[in-house]
Amino acid sequence: MSGTKTQQTMLREISPRPMPDGNPYLPMPATVAEVIQETGNIKTMRVVLDDAEAMRQFVYEPGQVGQLSVFGAGESTFVINSPPSQKDYLQFSVMQAGEVTAAIHRLSPGDKVGVRAPLGNYFPYADWKGKDVFFVGGGIGMAPIRTIMLHLLEHKDDYGKVSLLYGARSPRDMAYSYELDDWLRRPDLDCTLCIDAPFEGWEHKVGLIPNVLLELAPSPANCVAVLCGPPIMIKFTVQALEKLGFAPENIVTTLEKRMKCGIGICGRCNIGGRYVCIDGPVFTWKELQALPPEL
């Protein structure tokens, strides 16, 4: 190495989290084990790392993401939405939107893919112990909420009341439909479902997520709100939470940006001087308020 160095390390620290070893651009070979058609445009991929030892050793925290590769098409970032206790496979839910997601949607069980994971930070669930947690998931934004919610429910004794508000455009746009009956029934979860417009046979709430949230009016006392969804839903849901009295440090969200490297270098997922891929994707609203408004 040459050159005089005035500054060796970053002026800020990156919080500790599980990180991949070795060449960070090289995906781990993996095989699609199962494909679940969630909705018309969402599929869930369950993938297993080809190296059995790597699969056994693979650890991650709820909220961390992975880059899923279809060789020849490219790679995109998705949250690992199975809870960390799930050791048999890694699950990604993918909405078809662009070229890579279209290629992912063409995959069948047995197909070879690549996985770079885990990347990014995770939900600060240790800080939530003893508190109520109110989850809000909008559309495909339910994927990261599913991970952390299932993780919390596995450790329910550590937390107070756990609630979920899950909204989608219509019942047909609701991923994890096969799990919803269980979520509605289980005594350790207060689950509310909503859709944007009336639909024949729908027995749950009708209305936009922020409005339904105001109607449910969860108490901000000793409660953390955790939300994920499209940018417009995040904007109005945060407004609703603030109206209900939630403090910015008790509102937690996970962001999505166009990403390439996933390791803090390629330069497109920044909000001011922070990079969603290494400083996020999980941020509190208080942290986001300190950054330039560029969501």
Partner 1 sequence: MSMIRFVTADGLPGFLAHLAKDGQRVLVPVEKPANKPSVVFEPWQEGKAFTLAKATVPPKEAVLPQCETLFSFKKAKDPADPARVSLQLEEAPPPPPTVVFACRPCDARGFAVLDRPYLHGPFADPCYKARREALTVITLTCASGCNTCFCHWVGGGPSSPEGSDVLMTAIEGGYVLQAITPRGEACLAASALPDGAEVFPRAEEARKAAWQSLEPAPDLKDAPQRLAALFTDTTFWQEQTDRCLSCGACTYFCPTCYCFNITDEGEGLSEKGGRRLRSWDNCMSSLFTREASGHNPRNAKALRMRNRVSHKFATYPENWGSFSCNGCGRCISNCPVCLDIRAIVLAALEKGADA
Question: Which residues contribute to the site for partner 1 (CB under 8 A)?
Answer: 1-12, 14, 19, 23-27, 29, 50, 69-76, 97-98, 100-101, 112, 114, 230-231, 256-258, 260-261, 263-268, 270, 272-273, 278, 292-295
Say how far apart CA 45 and CA 111 lie, in whole Å. Answer: 11
Please say which residue, 245 or 292, places its beta carbon nearer to partner 1.
292
At closest approach, how far in Å is the CB of 202 from partner 1?
Answer: 26
CB 15 within 8 A of CB 64: no
Please say which residue, 130 or 231, places its beta carbon nearer to partner 1.
231
At closest approach, how far in Å is the CB of 10 from partner 1?
Answer: 6
Say how far apart CA 295 and CA 218 lie, in whole Å. Answer: 26
Burial status of residue 138 (CB atoms within 10 A of its CB: 0-12, 13-18, 19 or more): buried
At closest approach, how far in Å is the CB of 41 from partner 1?
Answer: 11
Please say which residue, 100 or 282, places its beta carbon nearer to partner 1.
100
At 75, list the tokens. Answer: 């790679």
C-alpha triplet 287, 295, 171: angle, nearest 5°? 105
At closest approach, how far in Å is the CB of 122 from partner 1?
Answer: 14
Please say which residue, 59 or 97, places its beta carbon nearer to partner 1.
97
At closest approach, how far in Å is the CB of 273 from partner 1?
Answer: 4
Please say which residue, 7 or 201, places its beta carbon nearer to partner 1.
7
Please say which residue, 12 or 185, places its beta carbon nearer to partner 1.
12
Q: Which one-letter amino acid corresponds to residue 57? A: Q
Distances (CA, A) of 89 to 30, 34, 120: 10, 9, 19
Say how far apart CA 295 and CA 288 lie, in whole Å. Answer: 9
Phi, then psi, of 158 in degrees rounded to 5:
-80, -10
CB 82 within 8 A of CB 117: no
At closest approach, how far in Å is the CB of 60 from partner 1?
Answer: 16
